[in-house]
């Protein structure tokens, strides 16, 4: 940051990434870029867009073409968010095992509180089908824009506009305190969850034939507390100690 220790709005805006997963219509990519520029955002990642670059995207960007020019195209959602410390999925629908779902203004505040010091992502789904369950598994919380319950799905670029507006409003309207410690990255969390799953299977607590529900619930639980890297290291250390016990010379499981 600067000589001045005070967190700056530009730093927070630079750290907020907009991820569009599998957009079908290039016009929507352009519309999203325009909405981003309106809100002071600039980091756009596109996961396997059907058509990009495309003249329709440029046309709808209408002055925000530089955001399209800098947009990074990747193959998977995982690649788009690996270095992010908080990942929020935008969804018009609620799910069977709901992630914690927040209103747009609350979401803007939590994204900003991390974004002063570390990258965060706001993830949007495909026009027709939204985000898949496995993509939602990569998100720590959901944001739902309140809308008519019988017609709640907004146009993709319109959804980016609403959430961009909330971010901008939260940023200019209040000074957000930066978190003292940095949340662990998604890559660190992914490694931890893999380790935990192996230990739980080893302990016969988790049935590998039907593992998904339990792991999802545990991930929700741990993600809610936004552990930092040190805390994840402690938990990894506990898992390693459990593994040592299970495989030690006097262990009944080895006899």
Size of the site for ligand SAH (CB under 6 A): 20
| Stretch binding ligand SAH (CB under 6 A), from 40-48, 86-94, 228-236, 247-255 | 86-94
Cα angle value 225/230/234 (rounded, 5°): 85
204: left (phi over 0), alpha (psi -120 to 50) or beta: left
One-character DSSP codes across 225-239: T--BHHHHHHHHHHH
A 10 A CB-CB count for 231 gives 16
Q: Quick one: 89 or 227, whose CB is closer to ligand SAH?
A: 89
User: Whole-number minimum distance, CB 151 to ligand SAH, in Å?
Assistant: 10
- Asked if residue 133 lies in contact with residue 193, where contact means CB atoms within 8 angstroms, the answer is no
The residue nearest ligand SAH at its CB is 130
User: Whole-number minimum distance, CB 190 to ligand SAH, in Å?
Assistant: 22
| Interface map 137-166 toward ligand SAH (x if CB under 6 A) | ------xxx-x----xxx-x--x-------
Verify cis geometry, omega within 30 degrees of 0, for the bond prior to 53: yes
Strands 43-47 and 141-143 come out as: unpaired
Query: Mutual orientation of helices 156-173 and 104-115 as an angle, nearest 10°?
Result: 60
Residues in region 182-241 near ligand SAH by CB under 6 A: none
Q: Quick one: 147 or 245, whose CB is closer to ligand SAH?
A: 147
| Stretch binding ligand SAH (CB under 6 A), from 89-97, 185-193, 212-220, 235-243 | 89-97
Q: Quick one: 90 or 114, whose CB is closer to ligand SAH?
A: 90
- Asked if residue 154 lies in contact with residue 197, where contact means CB atoms within 8 angstroms, the answer is no
| Interface map 96-135 toward ligand SAH (x if CB under 6 A) | ----------------------------xx-xxxxx----
Q: Does 91 bind ligand SAH (CB under 6 A)?
A: yes
User: Whole-number minimum distance, CB 21 to ligand SAH, in Å?
Assistant: 8
Task: Provide φ and ψ at 181, rounded to 5°.
Answer: -110, 155
User: Whole-number minimum distance, CB 185 to ligand SAH, in Å?
Assistant: 23
Q: Is 254 helix (H, G, I), strand (E, B) or coil?
A: helix
User: Whole-number minimum distance, CB 26 to ligand SAH, in Å?
Assistant: 15
Q: Give the one residue of 36, 82, 86, 90 binding ligand SAH; rule: CB under 6 A.
A: 90
Cα angle value 243/229/206 (rounded, 5°): 35
173: left (phi over 0), alpha (psi -120 to 50) or beta: alpha
**Nearest to residue 142, comparing CAs of 190, 104, 178?**
104
Q: Quick one: 153 or 229, whose CB is closer to ligand SAH?
A: 153
Q: Where along the sequence are the contacts to ligand SAH (CB under 6 A)?
A: 90-93, 124-125, 127-131, 143-145, 147, 152-154, 156, 159
């Amino acid at each position: 940051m600067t000589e001045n220790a005070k967190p700056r709005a530009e730093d927070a805006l630079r750290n907020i990434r907009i991820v569009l997963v599998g957009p079908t219509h290039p016009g929507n990519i352009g519309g999203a870029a325009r909405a981003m520029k309106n809100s002071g955002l600039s980091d756009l990642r596109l996961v396997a867009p059907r058509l990009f670059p495309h003249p329709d995207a440029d046309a709808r960007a209408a002055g925000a073409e530089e955001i399209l020019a800098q947009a990074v195209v990747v193959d998977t959602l995982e690649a788009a968010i690996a270095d992010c410390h908080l990942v929020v999925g935008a969804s018009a629908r609620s799910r069977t095992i709901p992630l914690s779902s927040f209103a747009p203004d609350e979401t803007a505040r939590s994204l900003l509180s991390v974004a002063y010091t570390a990258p965060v992502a706001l993830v949007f789904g495909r026009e027709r089908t939204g985000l898949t369950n496995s993509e939602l598994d990569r998100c720590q919380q959901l944001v739902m824009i309140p809308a008519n319950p019988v017609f709640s799905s907004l146009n993709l670029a319109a959804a980016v506009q609403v959430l961009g507006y909330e971010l901008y409003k939260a940023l200019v309207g209040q000074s957000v305190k930066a978190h003292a410690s940095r949340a662990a990255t998604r890559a660190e969390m992914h490694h931890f969850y893999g380790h935990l799953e192996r230990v739980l299977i080893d302990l016969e607590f988790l049935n590998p034939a039907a593992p998904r529900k339990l792991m999802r619930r545990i991930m929700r639980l741990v993600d809610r507390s936004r552990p930092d890297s040190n805390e994840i290291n402690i938990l990894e250390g506990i898992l390693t100690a459990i593994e040592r016990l299970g495989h030690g010379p006097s262990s009944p499981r080895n006899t």
